[in-house]
Every structure is written in C-alpha cells, then in structure tokens.
Amino acid sequence: MRLPLRRIFEEKRRVLIAVASALVLNIAVFAGVVYPLGARVRGAEARALAAGQALQAAEREDAVVRGVAQGRERTDAALKAFYKDVLPSSFAQARQSTYLRLSQLAEEHNLEQARRSHDREQKKDAALARLRITTSLQGDYEDIRRFIYTVESGDDFIVIDSIALRQGAEVGSPLTLDLGLSTYYRDKPDGT
C-alpha cells in the first residue's frame, strides 16, 4: 500500500508548515544565536584557563621572590650580628682578645710561646681591617696537634694562614710550630 503523500500534505498543510517553520526557526536560532554564544563561552573558558595558569605562575614567582627577600633579610641580620657579636670593634680589642686567647690555648695545651708579633693591614674604604699575627710555640706533637684543632674549631674568628713545624738539631728537642694567623676587626664603628 502506498501512502498518498500529496493527500496527506494537502490535508495537514497547516500543521506541516508550522512544524517546518519551527524547524527552520530552530536552525536559524541555533546558527545565529546559540552557536556564536557557545563559541564565545569556549573562548571565555580558554581565556579563564590561561588566566588561571598565569595567576599560578605569578604566585609561584611571588613566593620565590618573597623567599629571596626573606633570605636576604636573614643574611643581613646574621651579618650584622656577626659584626656586632663576633668581630672586635677596634685594632686594640682585636689584638688584646687574640693574644689573650692564643696565650690561654697555648697554656691549656702545654705549649711554650717563644715569640709573637703582629702586623696591621687596612684596605682603603674597607669596613674590615686585618690583624696578622705570627707566633712560635714549642711543645710535643700531640699538644701542637690539639692546639691547632682548638684554634680551627673555636668560636673565635681566628684564621690559620700558614703552619710550619720544625724540630731542633738536638735529639729529643721540642718541636717548634711557626704559625701565621689572621683575625679581622671592624674599622668603622657602625659595622658596615
């Protein structure tokens, strides 16, 4: 049996025209309104994603910069404390504290001081000056070794520049330790 489409179309023309019109109108609304809005939404989502990633990158960079700034502040505070608490504030104070400490250590380690001298070194416009000390100590090897270890590991800011160890010509004579030492002191009162 064959459907008579023409007859159906003529009888239901109004309904079919209304449905066809609604379909065309739907297609037109989709093409003219919905699709462009969807494209705008997808573009806005892509921009929002890019902005979120840029924000995260900026937050990471901000955290790094803050960390560097805090590290610099801690370093500055530690340096100021070092200048204030550890380094002597003048040549006289540096010489007195270093000579006293070296004498105490020599006595503790059963060493005898044979000689001692100092020399001052100051560079132009430098905040720190250097006090060079040369000293000769006599004693046995173990005492000399412990003395050197104590100087190197002590809280005092005394640096060993040179070491020379020698023994006299006579058998059983004590060893002589010739030391070149340095310490630094603030040449300016503000410690900068």
Per-residue pLDDT tens digits for 124-175: 777 788 899 999 999 998 999 999 999 998 888 889 999 999 887 777 778 8
CB 179 within 8 A of CB 163: yes
Vertex 188: Cα angle to 80 and 84 (nearest 5) = 25
Does some domain include residue 192? no
Per-residue pLDDT tens digits for 55-109: 999 999 999 999 999 999 999 998 888 888 778 888 888 888 888 889 999 999 9
Domain that holds residue 78: 1-86
> Is 95 found in the same domain as 179?
yes
Element (H, E) at 116: strand 112-121
Element (H, E) at 15: helix 13-29
Final residue of a domain: which of 67, 86, 105? 86
CB 118 within 8 A of CB 132: yes
Which tokens is 105 given? 């250590």
Locus of tokens 């489409």:
5
Final residue of a domain: which of 25, 60, 86? 86
- The more confident residue out of 3 and 138 is 138
Final residue of a domain: which of 58, 86, 114? 86
> Is 124 found in the same domain as 80?
no
> Is 108 found in the same domain as 136?
yes
Per-residue pLDDT at 189: 52
CB 105 within 8 A of CB 151: yes
> Is 106 found in the same domain as 70?
no
> Is 119 found in the same domain as 39?
no
Domain count, the chain: 2
**pLDDT for residue 33 is more than 80:** yes
Which tokens is 190 given? 């503000």
Per-residue pLDDT at 59: 94
Say which DSSP state 173 is in: P
